[in-house]
Amino acid sequence: MCDRAPDSNGTDKLLIDMVELARLTSIGVRTLRRMDASRDIPGRVVVRRCVRFQTEIICEWVRLGLPGRDEWSALQKRSVKR
């Protein structure tokens, strides 16, 4: 499923929007918006006024079981020390 999300042209995307994130994770857009509002989704990038998410980071987040913000930060700090 992950490394990158294939788009309709068959190419890989580095950034995805909320609707595509919902499709990839099977989590509803409303739930994802609430999670984003509390900053529980990593890899968030704002381009002008559009919110996008970095596909590689989202894939890792999903592999680790969708940890919350604090747990994600702790996991990232541990992986940097290695």
Query: Is the confidence at residue 76, as pLDDT, over 90?
Result: no
The total domain count for the chain is 1
> Which H or E run includes 23?
helix 18-25
pTM above 0.85, yes or no: no
Mean pLDDT for 4-10 is: 53
Q: How confident is the model at residue 62 (pLDDT cuts 50, 70, 90)?
A: very high
Query: Is the confidence at residue 70, as pLDDT, over 80?
Result: yes
What's the longest Cα–Cα distance across the chain?
39
pLDDT digits (tens, 9 = 90+) for 10-57: 458 899 999 999 999 999 999 999 999 999 999 999 999 999 999 999
Give the range of the structural domain holding residue 28, as residue numbers without chain letter: 5-81
Cα(33)–Cα(40) distance, rounded to whole angstroms? 10
